[in-house]
């Protein structure tokens, strides 16, 4: 299972000019690397919340965990129709499925935009899927 969290690089000058907007983006779950002379110097991340397990989790990560739990809850029912396929879950319901995880990811990302969703493989452990511009945790 994977968490997809958007990572963006911003120079110090842009941070000075757009700090309120960048803080708002980080609060929504985006990780923003602050660079100086092209080198990473700091990381702007959302303030943590406590999960049920007691670990610090950002707002978007908490939503992703809820979608992961929804997938796990739905998986026995999904096995009849989607075994071996990848399924995307958002809002606690299935929003797409495909045998190709990259194609499913692209389709759901276009459909949902900035909303958090979970992508999992039904009935089998999923391999890690590398998505350009995203960090897998």
Assess whether 92 and 36 both reside in one domain. Answer: no
Assess whether 76 and 118 both reside in one domain. Answer: yes
Assess whether 12 and 35 both reside in one domain. Answer: yes
Distance between CA atoms of residues 135 and 65, nearest Å: 16
Residue 1's pLDDT is what? 43
Assess whether 98 and 39 both reside in one domain. Answer: no
For the segment 31-58, what is each residue's pLDDT rounded down to a tens digit?
A: 788 888 878 888 887 776 444 444 455 6
Sign of the Cα torsion 57, 7, 25, 70 reads negative
Q: Does 120 have pLDDT greater than 50?
A: yes
- What is the CB neighbour count within 10 angstroms for residue 87? 21
Kindly report whether the global pTM for this prediction surpasses the value 0.75.
Answer: no
For the segment 84-110, what is each residue's pLDDT rounded down to a tens digit?
A: 899 999 999 999 999 998 899 999 999
Residue with tokens 């796990």: 72
The percentage of residues in the chain with a pLDDT greater than 90, rounded to a whole number, is 24
| CB environment 93-107: b (16+ within 10 A), e (fewer) | ebbbbbeebeebbee
Distance between CA atoms of residues 54 and 120, nearest Å: 24
């Amino acid at each position: 299972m994977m968490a997809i969290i958007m990572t963006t690089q911003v120079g110090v000058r842009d941070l000075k000019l757009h700090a309120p907007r960048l803080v708002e983006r980080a609060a929504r779950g985006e990780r923003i690397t602050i660079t100086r002379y092209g080198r990473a110097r700091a990381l702007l991340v959302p303030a943590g919340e406590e999960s049920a397990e007691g670990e610090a989790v950002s707002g978007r990560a908490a939503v992703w965990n809820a979608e992961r739990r929804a997938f796990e809850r739905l998986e026995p029912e999904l096995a009849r129709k989607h075994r071996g396929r990848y399924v995307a879950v958002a809002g606690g319901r299935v929003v797409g499925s495909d045998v190709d995880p990259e194609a499913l990811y692209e389709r759901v990302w276009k459909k949902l935009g900035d909303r958090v969703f979970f992508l999992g493989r039904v009935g089998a452990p999923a391999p890690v899927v590398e998505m350009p511009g995203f960090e897998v945790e």
